[in-house]
Structure 1
Amino acid sequence: MAPKEIDDVCEVQCFDDEKVNRLKPYAAESAGVAKIFKALADDTRAKIIHILSLDEELCVHDISSIIGSSIANTSHHLRLLHNMGLTKYRKEGKMVFYSLDDDHVRHLIAAGVEHAKEQK
């Protein structure tokens, strides 16, 4: 059995020098973008980011209740998001309140939620 031919690949090796040279520097601009999307690719973290994008700040217990996850799991994801620089927290006595630390992420999650609604 012969392998299936792939039609979506150029059959000759050639490229447009002008376009390559003009656009190549832009490739470096995407450094760090995958990290943000990796954080958002997890359903629990996406829920947390979305909820935090709608309110100023929430405590760990409230976030846990809203997303329907355990406090331990919620805390784990909040810690990861904080380490990625996407959330910040403040401590008030024995309470810890989280909020978004990056407005760009607020826009990304809003666009993602809007897109998901359109797909239904």
Structure 2
Amino acid sequence: MHDSLPDFRMPDDEQVHLAADAFRLLSDPTRIKILWALSQGETSVACLAELVDAAPTAVSQHLSKLRLAGLVRGRRQGTFVYYSAEDAQVQRLLAEALTQGDPVRSGE
């Protein structure tokens, strides 16, 4: 059946594993909130902790994982580190996921 589709292509195993790892990383509600906040602009751990209603130490641990995955970046200014989303692709993915199941937001 797929032979009849001229542009049919399956992702290779590495792509599939990378995508699965990214989805696993994004399966935590606090990380989704953190990424959403960071997609709005740069901010500090203390501000993020307040926004996502979590302890700063927990937010720091989440940020560490997100940074290692290449989803966020940090910028040091004196004794503070300010975080931001790595690119707009993360915001698009989150926006799509957050509108699923919401008929008003998804345009149904």
TM over 0.5: yes
Whether contact under 8 Å (1:50, 1:106) holds in the other structure is: yes
Bigger radius of gyration, 1 or 2? 1
Q: Work out which of the residue numbers 12, 16, 29 in structure 2 matches 1:28.
A: 12
Q: Work out which of the residue numbers 35, 41, 53 in structure 1 matches 2:27.
A: 41
Aligned to 2:93: 108
Gap regions ≥5 residues in structure 1? 1-15
In the aligned structure 1, how far is the partner of 2:70 from the partner of 2:21? 11
Whether contact under 8 Å (1:39, 1:46) holds in the other structure is: no
* One-letter amino acid of the counterpart of residue 66, structure 2: L
The alignment's C-alpha RMSD in Å is: 2.6
Whether contact under 8 Å (1:50, 1:109) holds in the other structure is: yes
Q: Structure 1 residue runs of 4+, over 6 Å off?
A: none
In the aligned structure 1, how far is the partner of 2:59 from the partner of 2:39? 16
1:90 partner SS: strand
User: Structure 1 length normalisation: TM-score?
Assistant: 0.74
User: Structure 2 length normalisation: TM-score?
Assistant: 0.81
Matches within 5 A, 1:10-25: 16=1, 18=3, 23=8, 25=9
Matches within 5 A, 1:1-120: 16=1, 18=3, 23=8, 25-28=9-12, 30-31=15-16, 32-54=18-40, 56-118=41-103
- Relative to structure 1, the CA distance from residue 17 to residue 96 in structure 2 (aligned partners, 3 Å threshold; closer, same or farther) is closer
